[in-house]
Amino acid sequence: MSSLDSRAPPGPVPIRSYGKYYLISKLAEGGMAEIFLAKQVGVEGFEKNVVVKRMLAHLSTANDFVAMFLDEARLASRLSHPNVVQVLDLGFEEGCYFIAMEYLAGEDFSTVIRSAAKQRTFVPLNIALKVLADAAQGLHYAHDFTDSKGQPLNVVHRDVSPSNIFVTYSGQVKMLDFGIAKAESRVTNTTAGVVKGKYQYMAPEQAQSLPVDRRADVYSLGVCMYEALCNARPFARDTDLAILNAVLKNEYRPPRQLRPDLPIELEQIIVKALSREADDRFQTAGEFAAAIENYLRASTSVTSGAALTTYMTSFFGQERVSAKTRIDSLEDLKASGVSLPATEKKAPSNPSGPSVATPQMPTSVSQRIDIIVEGATNAVGAPKSVVAQRQKSSATMLIAVALALLVGVGGTFAALKSSTTTVVNPPVPDRPTVVPPPIAVPSEVDAGPTIDAGLVEKPTGTETIDAGAPSPVPIPVPDKKPRVIVLSTPVISQVIRRNAGPVVRCFQEHRGDLPGPSGKVDVTITIERSGKVSSVTSPMAGTGVGKCLEERLKQIRFPPHVDESVKITLPLSFKTQ
């Protein structure tokens, strides 16, 4: 059992390879995923710190969760803005999907607020407002995002909270976790009646499971502003039911009752953002950001990224900053005596740059299917008479058909594109068990009780990133209708394995059409939403083996699935002897 399977607590883990990455330390675990600090390596000593967010193993067979996880990758990979975390890669490894994101050295805003409250102080106004304005700009970008044809996607984050606003030590502010974001074109539809998000930050319409738009995110950001400036959550109550009632009735204490020195202009911004009716709020996150920035300019306390850097570094201390920014390289770890897998095996197949990558098939799926056939020929383009004569001999021909599936993800939310990369029986790196020196985040500053009891402590180990949706999503009870699934790599491989026999017989029956004693034929198939194979293309079209492959592959039926169509390339390798 691997360290991933054992669901280790946050902290250092035995360094091991995971796809094209090396897992170094577990940062957090949430409702959907585990999050690891990892290394991406490449040729000529290339090495990059990334964060790997891996779906929890027990959820990998729950179609709703798989679809939600893939939705996050599809959406987030297309968002490119200084105030939105960048998704670099989507992959499939050891039976689970994962995404790789840029590594951010810093703290989530929730940790910043709580740490200040423990010291019985507030985050300075200019610092807090800078963070909130930048977060609003990131949200505004996502809300306005369009597809390649210029059509708005109408993205709504739906989980805006201080834990999903990240502040780096270098003065950047990033919005995290679009895992439950709603876009009109997303593959997965929200289950009717299911409320998603953190109760204390929900807009009233979201709490009632009504349709939401960007103004729901504006409301949630208003809750974040209240908490950041008052060290208290406006709707903090003893139970979830009491919280929801307070949200629906819009019952909260005015900010200046909790903090009399708060400028009235800032209270007015909060009150407008927290309007019960969406029409009474700021209509866009951009308007919300502009209101904050206007106050900053008028108060002559405009804050730059440099000021944010100075505050973060001085407040959290150089030791904590160094622990998150000065991460040992693999060579440094090796020099200190840590056993590492062989890095030369980990060069990425596409070193040109980060992208939403092809999920790779587990090694166990890439297998050889060997059939012994009477008769043999090694002649290239031999006359049919010679072939017939040699078929009568006692020699044998070994046809090895290696089915190596690579399913490409990207382009649009609704369609999967093809990849022609072939991976046949890749070597499995060693998995060392030596635990590296600790790289975990030190415990946060603790200098006394919080000012307000409503500022609930966050579980240990989750300071860095919120790993997913906070409340579990019920899995629908199966009915008698055909089950529509995500056509994931394990599903495709299972179907192909079950139908490998007829495909191999094409090479037996038409071995005279083979171009030589060994080679490879790349056959591309398109699978429609119904599961039917609608097209088969190969460089041997028109030959006996090409016609046979087309006929038999079209007879394969895959399960109905959520995508419009899926294209896959089957690299079929043959060898005679």
Q: Which residues are catalytic?
A: 159
Residues 497, 499: Cα–Cα separation, whole Å: 5
Q: Provide the pairing of β-strand 565-575 with 415-416.
A: parallel
Cα–Cα nearest to 48, from 403, 334, 330: 330
- How crowded is residue 517: how many other Cβ atoms within 10 Å of its Cβ? 15
Q: Counting beta carbons within 10 angstroms of the beta carbon of residue 251, is it exposed (0 to 12), middle (13 to 18) or buried (19 or more)?
A: exposed
Q: Is the dihedral of CA 457, 458, 459, 463 positive or negative?
A: negative
d(CA 188, CA 170) in angstroms, rounded, equals: 36
Contact 15, 434 (CB under 8 A): yes
Residue 501 neighbours by CB distance under 10 Å: 11
Which of 178, 185, 93 has the alpha carbon at shortest distance from 147? Answer: 185
Cα(433)–Cα(191) distance, integer angstroms: 42
15 sits in which H/E element? strand 11-18
Write out the DSSP string of 246-295.
HHHHT----HHHH-TTS-HHHHHHHHHHT-SSGGGS-SSHHHHHHHHHHH
d(CA 182, CA 157): 7
